[in-house]
Amino acid sequence: MKRLIDLRLGLFLAALFLVTVLVPLATTLDRSSPLSLPAYLIPLLGKYLCYALLAVALDLCWGYAGILSLGHGAFFALGGYAMGMHLMREIGARGVYANAQVPDFMVFLGWTELPWFWWGFDMFWFAALMALFVPGLLAFVFGWFAFRSRVSGVYLSIITQALTFALMLAFFRNEMGFGGNNGLTDFRDVLGFSLSAPSTRIALLVLTALSLAACLLIARAITLSKAGKVLIAVRDAESRTRFLGYRVEGFSVFVFTVSAMMAGLAGALYVPQVGIINPGEFAPANSIEIVVWVALGGRGTLVGAALGALVVVGLKSWLTANFPDLWLFALGALFILVTLVLPKGLLGLADRFRPAGSKPRRVPA
């Protein structure tokens, strides 16, 4: 257990625990109190934690297996659409078109019955399962063909980016049955609880924090297992690992699929807190931004990836609110900063200031 939870991970998990305890308490205080938390910050914090979970998912396959995916935004969006479809079914007869058997946007387009791929999404457990299964299945099928064909490096990155771009174009089409350009929105409640109620927002925030903690522990357990050692070997010397008799493609497909399922979970938690999901989430620029999160925080650290996501999205929110024209320049500057000055990210920078005696010793081969 001590090996599973190191100091950095322990501190981060403790911070998540404090979020689950202090945020609900802060909302009960009088608004005049300096410790009171405004209601609008609760879904904002939940959104940030969803992004942190997405960064951890990418770091698992990039930082430990060397799989630089530029398509994790697609897995995130697919999980979000799965949950959005359930929330649309929850509206029922309370939509604009009363007594309609299909969501409002389908009525507007002249649809009279639900497509087959909408069946079952009136049940929460089915939608939650699909939020994991659909991204996982796509990653498994894609990885099976890509890794068996020994596609790697920049070629794999380009293919994953092409995948998310193709999905974006497909979901923009109205005939796909996913709301077209507008996507899915106007959600009312989940499991009978109003999404606008403060208690529901707090519950979603706590659930997101707990999911992030659980995924961090799962990812940490994978990296410390024998399979994790093989993944690191694949990252550092794929050909040598293959010559030693390991089925490299099997390990790569495994970690790629698990990572995609974590990204789908992040998307499913993101949608009820933000209130909308549209094809813009598939945009390739979003997947590139996720890479910046991981690189800034520290590739191959898990905790660093989550911290990098929190730092970048916080900076993005502040800049877009105060200096909207500067965000793209700041993003480019962050990318250059990581490449030239912080190759090991923020956690690597912290290691430089640790006392010499506290630095971990490298065991010679």
Distance of CA 239 to the CA centre of its chain: 30
Mean of per-residue pLDDT scores for the chain: 87
Q: How far apart are CA 186 and CA 37, in angstroms?
A: 25
Q: What pLDDT is recorded for position 358?
A: 52
Amino acid identity of 233? A
Residue pLDDT, tens place only, 150-207: 888 899 999 999 999 999 999 999 888 898 888 998 898 998 899 989 899 999 999 9
Provide the H-helix boundaries in 63-191: 72-91, 104-108, 124-148, 153-171
pTM here?
0.91
Mean pLDDT of 337-353: 76
Q: How far apart are CA 178 and CA 284, in angstroms?
A: 19
DSSP letter (8 states) at residue 184? E
Domains and CATH numbers, the chain: 7-350 (1.10.3470)
Which tokens belong to 83?
Answer: 């949950």
Query: Would the pLDDT of 363 be above 50?
Result: no
Residue pLDDT, tens place only, 106-147: 877 777 788 888 899 989 999 999 999 999 999 999 999 999
